[in-house]
Amino acid sequence: MEVSVKIDELEYDKLASESKVLVEKAAEAADQAYAPYSQFYVGCSVRLQNGAYVLGSNQENASFPSGLCAERVALFECAKNLENNKVTEIAVFARSTNYEVPELLVPCAACLQVISDIQTRQGSPIKIWMWTGDKKVFVADNVGQFLPFHFELIKL
C-alpha cells in the first residue's frame, strides 16, 4: 500500500488576505497560551463556514501533561454546532523560548484525530495551515495528509 502526502509550501507575503488573517489570528491566540512549564506557546484559529473565527491556545497544568493543546481547545468549542456551522480551515502557530519550533508545524496525533473526527462528522474536509511566523506557510487540504489511517467508529 502506498500512502502519499501532499503539503503545499507558500510564501506568507503572497497569501490571499483571508488566509493571512487566519494564520495571523493563530499567532495572536498564542499570546493567550498558558505554558509556564514548556515555554512552548501554541495558538490556533478556526474559520467556520459562516466566516467567523474561533481561537484557542494551549493550556498547561501543574499535573503535566493534563493540559490541552490549542487545536483541541478551539475545535471542541466549534464541535458544539457543526450541524449549522462547519469547520472549513484551521491554522496553527507556535513560538518558544526553550525549544526549536519545527518549520513544518504539524498538530500532534491527538489533535489530528480530533480534526479527523470533526471532518468525518461534518462530511467535509478541513484545510490545515501551519505557520511559525517566518516567510513560509504550509498547508494541507485535509487531515488525511497526516493521518491516513485515522480511527473511525462505523456503526453496524
> Could you list the active site residues?
71
What is the H or E stretch that residue 75 is in?
A: helix 70-78
**10 Å Cβ neighbour count for 86?**
19
**CA separation, residue 87 to residues 35, 142, 146 (Å):** 26, 11, 18
Sheet holding 136-140, edge to edge: 8-11, 136-140, 127-131, 87-96, 40-48, 53-57
As a whole number of Å, the end-to-end CA separation of the chain is 26
What cell does 31 get? 499570546
Q: Are 119 and 125 in contact (CB under 8 A)?
A: yes
